[in-house]
Chain A
Amino acid sequence: AQKVTQAQTEISVVEKEDVTLDCVYETRDTTYYLFWYKQPPSGELVFLIRRNSFDEQNEISGRYSWNFQKSTSSFNFTITASQVVDSAVYFCALSEAPTGTASKLTFGTGTRLQVTL
């Protein structure tokens, strides 16, 4: 069965600090996808990144970067120079359905990030 663990329930940082959100996953499949979503107070989940299990290259997008390590089943997310607008709940998710079947996302419990001035 697939499972996603986000051990950090809540993190508070001061603006301009770097912060890393941890994500550990469990799956028996060799082909799977990992996602990060941001959920601001409005409630809508905003897609941030998708990674497939065959691509372990780290990715950087502006202030955001992701570190995917299959050896430790982790997919961590780092925000550099955090800003108040980064305050939200961040979810890591896993999808392991074969093509053509339900593309179910299994989410972690989320990490609430609070960035203050």
Chain B
Amino acid sequence: ETGVTQSPTHLIKTRGQQVTLRCSSQSGHNTVSWYQQALGQGPQFIFQYYREEENGRGNFPPRFSGLQFPNYSSELNVNALELDDSALYLCASSSRLGAGNEQFFGPGTRLTVL
């Protein structure tokens, strides 16, 4: 069983640029969540996708957007990058919706905005 994978591992961008991060969910999982983890902080919920539809969003501006594909893989897009967007971006998948379901996390993409 393949776990959650994310690409790229590291990324360096400059302010104002756009970035796309990718996530492949664990086999059989149809729910993907994205989290942003700033240095020294806990992960913050960005949004969740279930069967290709956004199913909840945290306190992030519209320049953070996402997609989920028919194979349940997902993308996180961030436009007009700001310095504060520098963080570890974590993707998590689960087998169904619901608060009690375990979310399996990927290794993350570390984004640096200069």
Q: Report A's interface with B, CB cutoff 8 A.
A: 4, 31-33, 35, 37, 42-47, 50, 52, 91, 93, 95-110
Contact = CB atoms under 8 A, between A and B. Distances in A.
Measured as residues with beta carbon below 8 angstroms from the partner, the interface class of chain B is: 20 to 34
Contacts of B45: 102, 104-106
B108 interface: yes
A104 B44 CA distance: 9
A9 to B, nearest CB: 9
Contact of A50 (B33, B41, B57, B102): B102
Interface in B39-78: 40-45, 47-48, 55-58
User: Secondary structure at chain A's binding surface: helix, strand, loop or mixed?
Assistant: loop
B105 A104 contact: no
Kindly name the residue among A45, A50, A97 whose own CB sees the greatest number of chain B CB atoms within 10 A. Answer: A45
A41 B3 CA distance: 18
